[in-house]
Amino acid sequence: MTTKLDLDPTLVRRARALAARAGQPVVDLARSHTTAAVERAVLRLAGITGADPDGIPWVNRLVDAVAGDVGLGYGVALPVWHALAREGLETEKPVGGADVTLLAQKAAAGSIRFVLPTGRDATAATRAARRAVGAGIKQIDRRRTERERLVKRLGNPKQRPWIYLIVATGDIYEDIPQAQAAARAGADVIAVIRSTGQSLLDYVPEGATREGFAGTYATQENFRLMRAALDESSKELGRYVRLTNYASGLCMPEIATLAGLERLDMMLNDSMYGILFRDINPIRTFVDQRFSRQIHARAGIIINTGEDNYLTTADAVEAAHTVTVSQLLNEYFAHEAGLADWQLGIGHAFEINPDLPESFRLELAHALLARELFPDAPLKWMPPTKHMTGDVFRGNLLDGFFNLVGTMTGQGILLVGMMTEAVATPWLSDRDIALQNVRYVLNAAGGLHEDFVPAPGGFIQRRAHQVLDEAIDLLERIVDTEPDARRHAGGGMLEAIADGTFGIMKRPATGGKGLDGVARHEEGYCNPATEILESAT
């Protein structure tokens, strides 16, 4: 098949094969380990809710108690449902996880001791756990069906790319009217970014929140409130408005689960973002990521990957091939977890220094390469941030160039750039000007991507070929790297991350936050959620 870049299909297949070889040891690692966050997500599917007077969720208290008595290597399902039966707390049809929540409260008070059941007790506990966790997965299935019905009735946005706009004041009750105003002004996707530092909290706060710095806390109640508000806006506008949040950090699996239960539509979910930019342990991240993506696959959620972040620390030209490598790895990990191509909002960004000669042509080459490598993925095109100087007039022009590249290369999801980026939290008027910029470019350019074809053998084609060649060279080096016996298994990928290959951040496999929450599977490990999710795929 001829492409606009005239990419060699043999090289493209080789790049994907190398990404699979590089990623397979990481998948093997994820399949043989669990984490405190994965086990908490299992219990959240069973309906556990609430927090103690100090604000620590009961699910944390319960998992900590199980880990203290029998460890995490067997999973929490067997000891928890055995304890429920032993204490007479298990009901045939638990309402809102009340039985598991009560068990957590007893465990926190020190009145319950957990043991690993065997024989018939283990069989009964497995059956009960699967029934309770399965009820949560059925709820996710219902929410997915609900979305599909609403999209069919209300319709999708008429144009592509979808316009993606961030609204996050810290106060969910202030976010709601701002999000609804943004939808009326033309936004198709509303992103409520998380409060700074929430990635490093090893628990998910409970309830609606009114305090947050540079974002709003991701909680189940905040998800519910914003989804309900955007449903109202969807009916008012006659198009389905999508909601995005972040499934990353130390609670990635839990937040993914809560998003599925509350019908979010997109989630930021990158395989390496937490490792590189939040110093979260690589093994913890990869194990959590796989489970979270299995939930996203089941929920019909589109993931957004975070390659744009690499270019805020590394040079966007010199490191362009590392973005391509990460995109290929994200695709492999996503497919392995059950995500379809239409759910892959593969990330890339407009971050080349605008003072560099031919910067616009370079941006076109990089964007078109991503588009042609992942033809069936929506792609998420990110605006300039690194080189925004505070000059709002220059910034608005730069965003216009970004929007033009987006429409010329057929991107699927376009995050609205702000001329006040890196200066202040945008006012509603800033967002309105930014949306005017997007609308003007998309309306004026129309289907320009159908007509735009770079010159054969010209600058854009040559640059795209160079980036792909460099990406293949890097993947070959990763695959050929023998894992150090002193480090955890994971092959050359963990070595590459430790060496600062991505985003110039060096993150060793034995470092970072959250490693103490990782456990290797013991013989007899039981996770009913993973069993149900994998049986479906």
Is 440 catalytic? The answer is no
> Rounded to whole angstroms, how far apart are CA atoms 49 and 41?
11
Residues 298 and 493: beta-carbon distance below 8 Å = no
> Rounded to whole angstroms, how far apart are CA atoms 112 and 99?
14
> Rounded to whole angstroms, how far apart are CA atoms 520 and 31?
9
The SS3 assignment for 90 reads: coil
- DSSP collapsed to 3 states, 38-60: HHHHHHHHCCCCCECCCCCEHHH
Half-sphere exposure of 109 toward its Cβ, with a 13 Å CA cutoff? 8
Is 513 catalytic? The answer is no
Is 28 catalytic? The answer is no
CA distances from 223 to 57, 95, 220 (A): 17, 21, 5
- The catalytic residue among 175, 308, 399, 430 is 308
DSSP string of 235-290, one letter each residue: HHHTSPPEEEEE--GGGHHHHHHHHHHTT--EEE--SSHHHHHH-B-HHHHHHHHH
CA distances from 317 to 176, 320, 363, 409, 414 (A): 39, 5, 9, 18, 21
Joined together, the tokens standing for residue 4 give 């606009």
Stated as kind and residue range, the H or E segment containing 352 is none
- The catalytic residue among 273, 310, 332, 525 is 273
If you ran DSSP here, which 8-state letter would residue 348 be given? E
- The catalytic residue among 380, 430, 513, 525 is 380
What's the farthest any 2 CA atoms get from each other in the chain?
A: 74
Residues 226 and 179: beta-carbon distance below 8 Å = yes
> Rounded to whole angstroms, how far apart are CA atoms 193 and 165?
10
Q: Is the dihedral of CA 186, 453, 304, 217 positive or negative?
A: negative
> Rounded to whole angstroms, how far apart are CA atoms 398 and 382?
12
Half-sphere exposure of 325 toward its Cβ, with a 13 Å CA cutoff? 27
The SS3 assignment for 531 reads: helix
- DSSP collapsed to 3 states, 417-473: CCCCCCCCCCCHHHHHHHHHHHHHHHHHHCCHHHHCCCCCCCHHHHHHHHHHHHHHH
Residues 520 and 73: beta-carbon distance below 8 Å = yes
Residues 58 and 203: beta-carbon distance below 8 Å = no
The length of the chain is 537
CA distances from 504 to 15, 315, 322, 466, 498 (A): 22, 10, 10, 21, 10
Catalytic residues: 273, 308, 380
